[in-house]
Structure 1
């Protein structure tokens, strides 16, 4: 069998999808049982991990939050998924758990300690989605900080991740934790040390106070598709989340892997996961009816608000019959969803709004019965060279239709693996026998390999 596809499930802590539909349950996001039930279903359905997007931003138009965002729950509200990941670990055994933390907001020692704690609490099933943030204009307002220039945010992220890796990999040798009450020794002082870091944006001399978990470093995810985002992914990421149409996905994946070679890494060690929106029914007609109902819950005003969140640009103030001005690509809020609409065949502003009304930031959905969407999935995977999907919630705000209709078809075709015995998330994603970073990853160099204890 070819390498099985990796299947992750995408969520955030807030209303998701067409929450206005009576069958959508995502307004229950404040209830812990909503999430424990979902985690159990993800594990039972054969998903590799549950992925939580997160940020501190919200839409801002004309110096304030637009009423449409509040009325329509457009990129608002949002809760903190890191608060309940340990509870999800208790009700699952195989499922990986990936959380987003921003390198603009969270300082490196904070991220390092949180991730080390969660890696212990989940028995090595934790991943960190590295982002510089989303809705940057709002986030800067919220924290009372100036808006940081786009490319500089990625320079900060590079230094941030580098310091985190030093803390995870350099402070504690393997076997340094003894915990022997008879001798009174918890940790061997000869094998625990402070690290020093003097980077362009962060300085540190200190120790990771939490002993490392099974993976030491969490599995590193990244989701930025701009040129600077792809370079950060090529340097550090073990999995990358991409959302675009197939030709752009193919180009992005090839570029990331080419850049990875430039960083001395095996390009195939980075798992490229594409946004998978599956609108599936017993028949194609059933699926299309679901799709029509989904689209009907979103207005062009909602689309303009969503677009402003990701880019900082107000399409409602632009000529609807003209394409975006190329100077819009210099926005400092976010560039991925500007760059995708530029070029010789650039759509008009009205067409961009209509695209966001239908699909938001995700690519064209797979619509049909289980066999039809599986056929389309195989075509996209073969064309792009991707490694799997990060599946978007369906019209109910859950993944029920995917697990009931799509996964059995994938399994019958030999496209996904059986769960097997519980492992760390890194082993599950990469197939490695080791739970730790591979030797060609930059973080590996910070291990004190000569001092490993027997």
Structure 2
């Protein structure tokens, strides 16, 4: 088995994934507005040769019946939060190889401005930036905040297709290689014959201008996507280079992975050219019993009230108002938010459909995270190997209970065992994030990606 892709999951907010984890004496999440906090984490992850630091982000927050519930204030549930994009350049200056993936919405950001921002970040990170494409999260709260109507689930993906097509044209088509001459003697900075206006007349976005930022090391950022709904999987199969999936069972994750790779073939892409990761909280200690005690401690920090607020914020469905003895498919519920987190509890993951009460208990224990592995280091690595073999995922996005404690335990106890078995890298591949994921020399979008068609005849700079 080849070395696995290992990313680190973070929000820029005080709490983690576990109810009131912010108040744990060993959790430093409350330092989220101090630069030293993030600098220390970035250096730690680079020293461990982890591939990237992934920042989830959302303008929204949990709402129940149109208001923020008190538990969301008390437990710091995505409220308050800050903008992670603004810390990336500082983290890049403190590291040399670690990649960064940051979230931006195709609903609340304009594509031309977003493309300019990511090109700039790609320059300042030396080609280590990725864009986590989201079509909406906590839609009800975000729509209220921006004074807009909520957009239907599938319509958001229609808009996201158009948004990304314009973005790729900006990054890939307007500047030819060699357009930037910076020739002081000739007095020519940009060769006008090698810069071209794009023409994009899409259903939602139009542009006939030129990308104002000169080509960055990767041209396009590495494209991440995290939707696991039916439409989300299709979007990932066409566009994503790295997909973040979640599932309640191994069988559900395996089915999602197989579906994405199968659809990728239909889009003319190499199915193995997409890295698929699953979110996982790894709780480990020198002994099995100590690790299980950490899991019990984590579960004890959450409540049914908090679990209901988490689910309502993601899906728009208030579980506390539903019959706890029935399943979601037996109740008239609908939502235009978080469709994958509705489907996963309707029996779509291959297991018997849980009752509303069981859903609340599951979310109380693990939130909406991908999964939990708890055990001694060798037990965890055994489970990771089995998980990869049974699902076909390429690696894990490490979701913390405590920051930095959950990461410290993984780095100090689990990584050495992984390296003994050839499951974790000892050095980075190349200098850019895309090279970390796909191999040295792979700095640009692969030839099978639809964005590559916009740069016909071009070759990577320096190739």
TM-score range, shorter chain: over 0.9
TM value normalised by structure 1: 0.97
Contact 1:240 1:273 in 2 (8 A): yes
* Structure 2 counterpart of 1:216: 219
- Per-residue Cα deviation, 1:93-134 (whole angstroms, up to 9, x for no partner): 110000000001111101110110011001111100011121
Q: Give the corresponding residue for 2:137.
A: 134
| 3-state SS of paired residue (1:19) | helix
Deviates most, 286-295 or 24-33: 286-295
Residue 337 (1) aligns with residue 341 (2):
yes
Written as runs of structure 1 = structure 2, the 5 A alignment for 1:222-301 is 222-244=225-247, 245-301=249-305
- State the 1:175 CA deviation: 1.4
Q: Which one of 186, 193, 197 corresponds to residue 189 of structure 2?
A: 186
Q: Deviation per CA, 1:299-334: give whole Å up to 9, x if none.
A: 110000001111000011111111114566741112
In 2, Cα distance between equivalents of 1:329 and 1:117 = 43
State whether structure 2 residue 373 is matched by structure 1 residue 366: yes
8 Å CA contact 1:265, 1:440 repeated in 2: yes
Q: For 1:380-391, what aligned pairs fall within 5 Å after superposition?
A: 380-391=387-398
| Runs of 4+ displaced beyond 4 Å | 326-329, 450-454
Residues 38/453 of structure 1: CA separation in 2 closer, same or farther (3 Å cut): closer
* Counterpart residue number, 1:441: 449
Q: Please, which of 413, 425, 439 is the counterpart of residue 431 of structure 1? A: 439
Conserved? CA contact 2:157–2:235, under 8 Å: yes
Partners of 1:23 and 1:450 in 2: CA distance: 51
Provide the C-alpha distance between the structure 1 equivalents of 2:459 and 2:319, rounded to a whole number of angstroms: 58
Do the aligned partners of residues 448 and 187 (structure 1) sit closer, same or farther apart at CA in structure 2, a change above 3 Å counting? farther
For structure 1, list consecutive stretches of 5 or more residues without a partner in the other structure.
none
**Which residue in the other structure is 1:79 paired with?**
82
Alpha carbons of 1:135 and 1:426: their partners in 2 closer, same or farther (altered >3 Å)?
A: same
The 3 A distance-change label for structure 1 pair 188 and 452 is: farther
Q: Is the counterpart of residue 414 in structure 1 residue 436 in structure 2?
A: no
Given that 1:276 and 1:391 are in contact with CA atoms closer than 8 Å, whether structure 2 keeps it comes out as yes
> What's 1:53 paired with?
56
Distance 2:333 2:232 in 1: 15
Deviations 1:149-180 (A, max 9, x none): 00000010011010000000011111111112
Tell me by how many angstroms 1:273 deviates: 0.5
Q: How many residues get paired?
A: 453
Q: Residues 270-324 of structure 1, C-alpha deviation per residue, up to 9 Å, x if partnerless?
A: 0001112101011111111111111111111000000111100001111111111
Taking the aligned partners of 1:369 and 1:102, their CA distance within structure 2 comes to 39
Matched, 1:5 2:7: no
Give the structure 2 partner of residue 120 of structure 1.
123
Q: What's the Cα RMSD here?
A: 1.6
What displacement does 1:363 show? Answer: 3.4
* 1:346 aligned to which of 323, 346, 353: 353
Q: 1:14: which partner in 2? A: 13
Q: Residues 172 and 193 of structure 1 are in contact (CA less than 8 Å); yes or no, is this contact kept in structure 2?
A: yes
